[in-house]
Each structure stands twice: as C-alpha cells, then as structure tokens.
Amino acid sequence: MTQVPCAADRRAVLMGAVSLAALPWTAFAARADANADGDLALRAAIREAVGDRQAVDGGIALRAPALAENGGQVPISVLVDTPQTPADHAVAIHIFATRNPTPGVASFRLTEKLGRAEVQTRIRLAQEQTVIVLAQMNDGRVLRAAADVRVTTGGCLT
C-alpha cells in the first residue's frame, strides 16, 4: 500500500484495515464498498441541498482545471446563465466533490441584487474525481454541470 500522508480518504483507511496481507481481491472488495459508501454520502449531500428535484444539464459555465497539481487548492469558477434579475435568478450554487470524504463542499445562497450569478472559489480534492455543480433557480429548476479533475497530489482532506 502506498503511503498516504494525510489519510486521504475512507478508502485508504479501509484498505489499511485490510492490512498488509491484503490480496488484490480483498483490496478490490474494500474499494467497491468505499465507492458505494461514497455514492451514498454524495446522494445524501445532494438531497440535503436541493431535495429530490431532478437536475437538468446545462445553463452553467463551470471552469475547473483538467489537471490539478495540488489537490489542496483547486480553482473552481461557476457562472450561471441568468440575468440575475428579480424575475430570473439563481438562488443558490452548490459544489460537490464526488469522491471527497465530505462530498458537499460548499453552498452559496445568492440574491438577485448581485446582478451576476458567479462565484469563484478554491477547493480541496482528495483524489481524481468529478466535480458537480448544481444551481437552484428562483422558478424551482435545478441546473447541473460537471467537470472531471485529475489530481497529482491529494488535498489532505481527512
């Protein structure tokens, strides 16, 4: 097992629990479990943010690097395609890191007074994964965008 300086994620912890004697098969099983676990956490985080509302792809310009050298500082830029007026505006932007121990990264609640539904932040990514952004609109629609980010050095998350 490779050394994990900041106990990168549950998967690493699980694989550690399987110990040095871990055969590829056991490791694979642990990995599958961790993934299922991660997906559950992701679904819970999404449900907490937007409820059971079905998200529609598009309407968001999501900028993220295809390759992040440092998983501890990954620049993310989200611009929702809306005039951000009282009649048509984004009420929230949610950022999810699908393979982080805590998939729900941040939520930004916005008002139409901003005039532009754009937020730029820097986030931690524990490993290579997909970043998902959801935007809740004032009419109840939920927009979705996703970007795959490869990570050279994990973000010391856990």
Partner 1 sequence: MSRPLSLPRIRAPRAAKPGEIVEIRTLIEHPMETGLRSEAGKLVARDMLTRMIVRANGETLIDAEFRNGTSANPYHVFFMRIEATTELEIVWTDDVGRSVKGNARILV
Give the residue with the Cβ less far from partner 1, 119 or 145: 119
Cβ at position 95, least distance to partner 1 in Å: 7
Give the residue with the Cβ less far from partner 1, 38 or 155: 155
Tokens describing residue 47: 């449900």
Which residues does 87 contact at the CB level (< 8 Å), separation at least 6?
138
Is residue 116 within 8 Å of 83, Cβ to Cβ? no
Residue 16 CA to residue 135 CA, distance in Å, equals 37
Give, as ranges, the residues between 68 and 127 that touch partner 1 (CB under 8 A): 72-74, 77, 95, 97, 100-102, 104-111, 113-116, 118-125
Cβ at position 24, least distance to partner 1 in Å: 27
Local structure of residue 144 (DSSP, 8 states)? E
HEC sequence for 55-89: EEECCEEEECCCEEEECCCEEEEEEECCCCECCEC
Cβ at position 23, least distance to partner 1 in Å: 27
Is residue 71 within 8 Å of 152, Cβ to Cβ? yes
Cβ at position 25, least distance to partner 1 in Å: 28
The footprint of partner 1 on this chain (CB under 8 A) covers a number of residues equal to 35
Could you give phi then psi for residue 50, rounded to 5 degrees? -125, 5
Cβ at position 117, least distance to partner 1 in Å: 9
For residue 42, state whether it binds partner 1 (rule: CB under 8 A): no
Binding region for partner 1 (CB under 8 A): 6-7, 72-74, 77, 95, 97, 100-102, 104-111, 113-116, 118-125, 155-158
